[in-house]
């Protein structure tokens, strides 16, 4: 087997913060980090064995094979068009919502996507072993290389196309961002009434355990599921001082009712 | 200390299914179970040491002190007005959304609320030790007795009034029922695209762990939080075949944006 390919990161946000050291730790050398935010790039190099800070997108003399764009979605296309790459470079992005084709005008024929499905925050350590990584590429060799890299850090690596990845990303927004916002709204309601969010924690843990165990469709409970319109009107009246919140309550309840009667 | 008071249950649904055996196990004798649904009442008596099936709401010769109405919200008022109780009976309901005063026309001056904040399903065992129980009563002695009963099964017992309990119940609908529905919608989106809900499980677990650890307001991530309107429009377009779902995506995103810019 050939020696592990070296890797460069373009972008030093939440994902790169966790992914670059994870790859470094299993024996890939992360050689370079570039970010428009120099301080972020510098901080990330300090988490790595021998990575250098890159000041420009000119990677023509780089020893890396794989170039991972871990930047915000809006920046990917521009980076792909500006980056100067060595021969045989593989350029990948890490976005759930962008198609592979956003890299089509890059100066390499080998493009791909390396999408770890997780929510990343710098302050919170993550275990890549349990994080599914989704790979896409236009080239067989690149596909194989990206898959083998992903498999060194994750037990769950799958190949999916751009359309499926978009569906997955939309679903993830519901499952993670929107779920979290429901918790945030419950926290807000309790705060308005001088109660602590801690009171809800056992309920939240049980709700999620049950949804994971028997599936969320089967585990739905509550007034909207039961069609208990008295409680629903009662709650909407309670929320009425905050018109937007009352509207949200109404709409989500209607969505639950529609799901469970159709 | 006097011997443990005996308890009767009116209602044999999900809550009674778990609460009656929990009380039985710590030394309270559950003497009687009544339910409009005779089969449910009978099944519950079989989970208890010496409970009898009651065929009517005439408890005038009952040996119990505490009568727990664990029925649907709509049925509580009628039960309270029909039930015939022995002297010194304490009549309580277990509803988050109903005030104490719904019991005011009962044939006893001692009324209360015994509200365990959890989602109950018959098939899923629960550990009452971690479930907060909220007590309210109009009478000091009843308040004390209900509190001491709650403390034998739960480590978290609090006294709260009817208004606070209603706020808590509304918050619980967001934290449990609505959170679960967001998972259900993500499951639906994946199914529409022939993918498994299992793919999202690590993301969901991490989302909830983070919200519990650092608080949901602090742990919010995603396009709406970042104000990434390109992704938002892109996702809404993706969902557009299902108008209601697209509307929900839009409204929840707007709510996240409003929460994190104000």
pLDDT tens-digit series, residues A178-195: 999 999 999 999 999 999
Q: B156 and B208 share a domain?
A: no
Question: Does the distance separating the beta carbons of A183 and B175 come in below 8 Å?
Answer: yes
Instruction: Give the end-to-end CA distance of chain A in Å, rounded to a whole number.
Output: 55
- Condensed to tens digits (0 to 9), the pLDDT of residues B23-74 reads 999 999 999 999 999 999 999 999 999 999 999 999 999 999 999 999 988 8
- DSSP per-residue letters across A57-68: SB-TT---SEEE
| Spatial distance between the Cα atoms of B13 and B22, rounded to a whole number of angstroms | 14
Percent of chain A with pLDDT over 70: 99
- Which residues make Cβ contacts (< 8 Å) with residue A48, sequence separation at least 6? A20, A21, A24, A30, A33
Token digits for A111?
Answer: 């493009």
Q: B64 and B179 share a domain?
A: no
Contact A54, A33 (CB under 8 A): yes
A113 three-state secondary structure: strand
Give the nearest partner residue to B170 out of A158, A177, A239, using CB atoms. A239
Residue that the structure tokens 């100066």 belong to: A107
Q: What is the pTM of this model?
A: 0.91
Radius of gyration of chain B from its Cα atoms, rounded to whole angstroms: 22
Q: B138 and B218 share a domain?
A: no
Residue of B nearest to A130 (CA): B202
The pLDDT value recorded for residue A2 is 57
Classify residue B233: in a domain, yes or no.
yes
Contact A56, A33 (CB under 8 A): no
Classify residue A1: in a domain, yes or no.
no
Give the nearest partner residue to A252 out of B181, B201, B238, using CB atoms. B181
Q: Which parts of chain B register pLDDT below 50? A: 1
Token digits for B29?
Answer: 């004798």
| Spatial distance between the Cα atoms of B160 and B149, rounded to a whole number of angstroms | 16
Task: Assign residue A44 the CATH number of its domain.
Answer: 3.40.50.720
Residue that finishes a domain, picked among A126, A160, A194: A160
Which element (helix H / strand E) includes A157?
Answer: strand A157-159
Give the nearest partner residue to B251 out of A230, A231, A251, using CB atoms. A251
Classify residue A183: in a domain, yes or no.
yes
- Indicate the angle between helix axes A179-192 and B201-214, nearest 10 degrees: 20
Give the nearest partner residue to A179 out of B130, B173, B179, using CB atoms. B179
β-pairing verdict for B133-137 and B157-159: parallel
Question: Does the distance separating the beta carbons of A184 and B117 come in below 8 Å?
Answer: no
| Spatial distance between the Cα atoms of B199 and B131, rounded to a whole number of angstroms | 30
Contact residues on chain B for A179, CB-CB shorter than 8 A: 179, 182-183, 204, 207-208
Task: Assign residue B229 the CATH number of its domain.
Answer: 1.10.1040.20
Residues 11-40 of A with CB under 8 A from B: none
Q: A11 and A119 share a domain?
A: yes
Which element (helix H / strand E) includes A22?
Answer: helix A14-25
Token digits for A236?
Answer: 């909407």
Q: Is B35 left (phi over 0), alpha (psi -120 to 50) or beta?
A: beta
DSSP secondary structure code for residue B173 in this structure: I
Residue that finishes a domain, picked among A124, A143, A160: A160
Residues 198-217 of B with CB under 8 A from A: 199-208, 210-217
Short-list A249, A261, A251, CA closest to A225: A261
Radius of gyration of chain A from its Cα atoms, rounded to whole angstroms: 22
Can you give B92-106 as a three-state secondary structure string?
Answer: EECCCCCCHHHHCCC
β-pairing verdict for B7-10 and B66-69: parallel
Beta bridge partners of A157: A133
Classify residue A46: in a domain, yes or no.
yes
Q: Give the strands of the sheet with B110-116, arranged side by side.
A: B52-54, B30-34, B7-10, B66-69, B90-93, B110-116, B133-137, B157-159
| Spatial distance between the Cα atoms of A107 and A84, rounded to a whole number of angstroms | 7
Residues 174-203 of B with CB under 8 A from A: 174-190, 192-193, 195, 197, 199-203
- DSSP per-residue letters across B56-72: SSB-TT---SEEEE-S-
Which element (helix H / strand E) includes A166?
Answer: helix A162-172
Which element (helix H / strand E) includes A9?
Answer: strand A7-10
Token digits for B195?
Answer: 């993918």
What count of Cα atoms within 13 Å lies in the side-chain half-sphere of residue A148?
A: 13
Q: B146 and B205 share a domain?
A: no
Per-chain mean pLDDT for chain A: 94
Q: B156 and B26 share a domain?
A: yes
The pLDDT value recorded for residue A87 is 94
| Spatial distance between the Cα atoms of A252 and B39, rounded to a whole number of angstroms | 34
A241–chain B Cβ distance below 8 A for any pair? no
The pLDDT value recorded for residue B4 is 86
**Residue A167 pLDDT > 80, yes or no?**
yes
Contact residues on chain A for B188, CB-CB shorter than 8 A: 217, 259
Classify residue A57: in a domain, yes or no.
yes
Q: B182 and B153 share a domain?
A: no
Q: Cα-flanking dihedrals φ and ψ of residue B64, to 5°? A: -75, 155
- Indicate the angle between helix axes B179-192 and A243-261, nearest 10 degrees: 50
Mean pLDDT computed over A144-165:
96
Q: A130 and A239 share a domain?
A: no
Q: E-assigned strands of chain B? A: 7-10, 30-34, 52-54, 66-69, 90-93, 110-116, 133-137, 157-159
Classify residue A2: in a domain, yes or no.
no
Q: B100 and B181 share a domain?
A: no
Token digits for A177?
Answer: 């961002």
Short-list A48, A79, A70, CA closest to A116: A70
Give the nearest partner residue to A195 out of B167, B207, B230, using CB atoms. B167
Number of domains into which chain B is organized: 2
Residue that finishes a domain, picked among A98, A133, A160: A160
| Spatial distance between the Cα atoms of A228 and B98, rounded to a whole number of angstroms | 13
Mean pLDDT computed over A205-232:
94
The pLDDT value recorded for residue A22 is 96
Contact residues on chain B for A201, CB-CB shorter than 8 A: 212
Q: A189 and A152 share a domain?
A: no
Q: B137 and B170 share a domain?
A: no
Classify residue B36: in a domain, yes or no.
yes
Q: Assign A1 a pLDDT band (cuts: 50, 70, 90).
A: very low
**Residue A242 pLDDT > 50, yes or no?**
yes
The pLDDT value recorded for residue B1 is 43
Name the H helices within chain B.
Answer: 14-25, 38-45, 73-82, 140-153, 162-172, 179-192, 201-214, 216-219, 223-226, 229-239, 243-261
| Spatial distance between the Cα atoms of B146 and A129, rounded to a whole number of angstroms | 48
Q: A143 and A49 share a domain?
A: yes
Determine the structural domain holding residue B193 and report its residue range: 166-261
Classify residue A75: in a domain, yes or no.
yes
Which element (helix H / strand E) includes A36?
Answer: none
Token digits for A199?
Answer: 């009171």
Short-list B103, B96, B167, CA closest to B139: B103
């Amino acid at each position: 087997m050939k020696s592990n390919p070296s890797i460069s990161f373009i972008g030093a946000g939440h994902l790169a913060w966790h992914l670059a050291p994870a790859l470094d730790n299993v024996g890939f050398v992360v050689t370079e980090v570039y970010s428009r935010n120099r301080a972020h790039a510098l901080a990330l190099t300090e988490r790595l064995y021998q990575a250098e800070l890159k000041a420009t997108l000119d990677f023509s003399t780089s020893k890396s094979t794989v170039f991972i764009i871990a930047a915000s979605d809006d920046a990917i296309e521009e980076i792909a068009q500006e980056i100067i790459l060595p021969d045989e470079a593989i350029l990948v992005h890490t976005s759930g919502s962008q198609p592979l084709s956003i890299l089509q005008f890059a100066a390499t024929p080998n493009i791909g996507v390396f999408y770890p499905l997780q929510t990343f925050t710098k302050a919170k350590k993550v275990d890549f072993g349990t994080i599914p990584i989704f790979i896409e590429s236009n080239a067989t060799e690149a596909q194989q290389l990206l898959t083998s890299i992903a498999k060194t850090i994750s037990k769950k690596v799958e190949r999916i196309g751009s359309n499926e990845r978009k569906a997955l990303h939309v679903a993830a927004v519901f499952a993670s961002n929107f779920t979290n916002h429901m918790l945030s709204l419950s926290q807000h309601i309790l705060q308005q009434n001088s109660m602590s969010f801690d009171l809800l924690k056992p309920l939240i843990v049980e709700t999620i355990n049950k949804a994971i165990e028997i599936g969320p469709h089967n585990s739905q409970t509550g007034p909207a599921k039961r069609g208990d319109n008295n409680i629903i009107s009662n709650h909407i009246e309670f929320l009425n001082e905050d018109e937007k919140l009352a509207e949200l309550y109404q709409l989500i309840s209607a969505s639950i009712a529609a799901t469970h009667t159709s």
